[in-house]
Amino acid sequence: MAMATVLSLPSSCFSSSVSSSSFLYSAKAQSFPRKRQTPHVTRSLIVNSISSPGIETLPPALQSFWKWVCDKGVLSNKAPPVMPGIVPEGLGLVAQKDIARNEVVLEVPKKFWINSDTVAASEIGKVCGGLKPWISIALFLIREKSKEDSPWRSYLDILPQTTDSTIYWSEEELSEIQGTQLLSTTLGVKEYVQSEFLKVEQEVILPHMDLFPTPITLEDFSWAFGILRSRAFSRLRGQNLVLIPLADLINHSPSITTEEYAWETKQAGLFSRDLLFSLRTPVFVKAGEQVLIQYDLGKSNAELALDYGFIESRPERNAYTLTLQISESDPFLGDKLDIAESNGLGETAYFDIILGCSLPPAMLPYLRLVALGGTDAFLLESIFRNKVWGFLGLPVSRANEELICRVVRDACASALSGYHTTIEEDEKLREGGKLDPRLEVAVGIRTGEKKVLEQIDGIFRERELELDELEYYQERRLKDLGLVGEQGDIIFWESN
């Protein structure tokens, strides 16, 4: 399920240097939603109604889950327009009738949500109060999964044991994304999950083995992390991380490009304090077809691969993040930091470059600020403080502009040298077809990153060719003072 950034990861999970420069780094790859892979069934099944014989042909675990949904009153609608079915992605929601655009397809009462409140009310609630929400929910899922008599048994039995997220890839599979920002992000996330596990093991699990009688392993913890990362809903009023049984079967469609979210929480009635999770379809759906939504238009392919294990073919999903940093040894660190912070940036700044799009507006000014020095350093004086960012929006001097071009191009060359294939080799692989799903993701990711890097290099290569034609600060200043003629010649006045 589409989760905007549900899990907050430390910045150390995202940074890796690719430049010998003191101020340019290959950035934090994104933390940066095809949906998680459910049971490995590839045949399609259309179920026409709840009472349809088709329900009997579903896997036993799914039959049991649907019975639980119906018996427990998970759905507020007595005749829901959707029900679970086998779809190409694994499990999904299948329309039982024609469903109009923006029509509600299901509503789930809060008592069937799994969130921090669920954990607090459980037997382990008393030892989970000070934990991060995702960790407490992860422990709850693991513990309930180990209990045969868990009230959540039917739901837990349909959850996948793994997904195609890169956090579950083998070393051999990860070698296919060598050199990518996604690889460094994936390794950072795995390290983060391991460190959190070791911490919670020592502080909560081992001291309370009466509450956790079944051993909990790092593999169990990683499973729960992946489940939350791929299935939890976010951006809900007053709720940061929520699992919604049945609703989390909704799959993603790249063809749906509406910015509107397809879910919300609302009151169960005019005078009721109870909450409902409401899911609607953003497009018209015919009976027998799968109901789909857009997970998040703002996610890059790297984020999609990390969270869900799939990518899209749309060029704008390909991104590369450049990290720029004011060196701690810069003699003008204090002044530069003051200017950066006055303009919403800091000592380190991250800029996402998207394939086919122009550079972020603040990137060039920040680059010029970081590179500022020598005879240009006078612009850092306090007298210019309120105007300097505007000055940096245009070329400062030939030396400054040449430096930023060289540093960025060197960084791009260094990053490109880290990949073990060329764009041409990758595209030939993709044209050949029949790639393993994970290899297809790997090839798509590394191709996309390399294209963005080549785009960045091309922008600054063209800029290098224009260095002699650009107008710099001193020329602009002289023009403002009326000391430069139309042909660029300096005007001298002689007194009578």
Residues 326 and 286 in one domain: no
Residue type, 437: P
State whether 245 and 369 are in the same domain: no
Is 208 known to sit in a ligand binding site? no
Is 476's pLDDT higher than 90? no
CB-neighbour burial class of residue 442 (10 A; exposed 0-12, middle 13-18, buried 19+): buried
pLDDT of residue 28: 33
CATH number of the domain at 342, please. Answer: 3.90.1420.10
Residue 450 lies in a domain: yes
251 annotated to bind ligand: yes
Decide which of 156 and 77 is more confident.
156
**Same-domain status, 99 and 242:** yes
Query: Would you say residue 306 lies in a domain?
Result: no
Q: Does any domain span residue 93? A: yes
Residues 253 and 113 in one domain: yes
- The reply, when asked if residue 273 is annotated as ligand binding, is no
End of a domain among 261, 293, 325?
Answer: 293
Least confident of 198-202, 341-345, 471-475: 471-475
Q: Which of 185-199, 429-443, 466-480 has the highest mean pLDDT?
A: 185-199
The DSSP bridge partners found for residue 321 are: 352
Q: Taking 80 as the threshold, does the pLDDT of residue 177 lie above it?
A: yes
Residue 487: HSE in the Cβ half-sphere, 13 Å Cα cutoff = 2
Query: Is residue 89 marked as binding?
Result: yes
List pLDDT tens digits, range 337-349: 999 999 999 999 9
pLDDT tens for residues 378-400?
Answer: 999 999 999 999 999 999 999 99
Burial class (CB in 10 A: 0-12, 13-18, 19+), 465: exposed
Residues 270, 334 within the same domain: no
352: number of CA atoms within 13 Å, CB side? 16
Structural domain boundaries enclosing 438: 313-480
Residue 145: band (very low, low, confident or very high) from pLDDT cuts 50, 70, 90: very high
- Do 276 and 154 share a structural domain? yes
Could you tell me the strand order of the sheet in which 263-267 lies?
Answer: 104-109, 275-280, 263-267
Residue 439: the pLDDT is 96
Find out whether 235 is annotated in a ligand binding site.
yes
- Whether 152 is in a domain gets the answer yes
Quick check: helix, strand or coil at residue 322? strand
Does residue 430 sit in helix, strand or coil?
helix
Q: 101 with 73: CB under 8 angstroms?
A: no
Same domain, 277 and 167: yes
Of the listed ranges 76-85, 99-108, 200-209, the one predicted with least confidence: 76-85
Helix ranges restricted to H, 103-180: 116-120, 125-128, 133-145, 153-156, 171-174
Q: Please indicate, yes or no, whether residues 274 and 349 belong to a single structural domain of this protein.
A: no
Domain closes at, from 293, 327, 346: 293
Torsions phi, psi for 371 (to 5 deg): -85, -5
Q: What's residue 239's pLDDT? A: 64
Any binding-site annotation on 295? yes
Q: Are 327 and 23 in contact (CB under 8 A)?
A: yes
Query: Taking every pair of C-alpha atoms in the chain, what is the biggest distance, in angstroms?
Result: 106
User: What dihedral do alpha carbons 89, 155, 229, 5 form, nearest 10°?
Assistant: 100
Local structure of residue 112 (DSSP, 8 states): G
pLDDT at 400: 97
Q: How many residues are listed for the chain in this entry?
A: 496
CA distance 177 to 171: 10
The DSSP element (H or E) to which 86 belongs, if any, is strand 82-87
Question: If we measure between CA atoms, which residue out of 10, 6, 26 comes closest to residue 18?
Answer: 26
The reply, when asked if residue 419 is annotated as ligand binding, is no
Least confident of 243-247, 272-276, 299-303, 306-310: 272-276
CATH value at residue 80: 3.90.1410.10
The confidence band for 307, taking pLDDT boundaries of 50, 70 and 90, is very high
- By annotation, the residues acting in catalysis are 295
Q: How far is residue 269's CA from residue 353's CA, in Å, rounded to a whole number? A: 46
In a domain, 432, yes or no: yes
The answer to whether 48 is a known ligand-binding residue is no
Residue 208, in any domain of the structure: no
Q: What is the pLDDT of residue 487?
A: 58
pTM of the complete model: 0.84
Total structural domains within the chain:
2
Q: 240, 261, 293 — which closes off a domain?
A: 293
My answer on whether 270 and 379 are in the same domain is: no
- The verdict on residue 21 lying in a domain is no
Asked whether residue 158 falls in the same domain as residue 243, the answer is yes
Percent of the chain with pLDDT over 90: 74
The per-residue pLDDT for range 35-83, each reduced to its tens digit, is: 333 333 322 333 333 333 357 778 999 999 999 999 988 886 677 899 9
Three-state SS for 44? coil
Tell whether 176 is in a known binding site.
no
Bigger pLDDT: 303 or 22?
303
What's the pLDDT tens digit per position in 220-276?
A: 999 999 999 999 987 665 567 899 999 999 999 999 998 677 888 887 666 666 888
Q: How far apart are CA 361 and CA 347, in angstroms?
A: 18
252: annotated binding-site residue?
Answer: yes
Question: Does 440 share its domain with 377?
Answer: yes
DSSP three-state, residue 168 = helix
Q: Same domain for 383 and 249? A: no
Specify if 487 maps to a domain: no
Question: Is 155 a known ligand-binding residue?
Answer: no
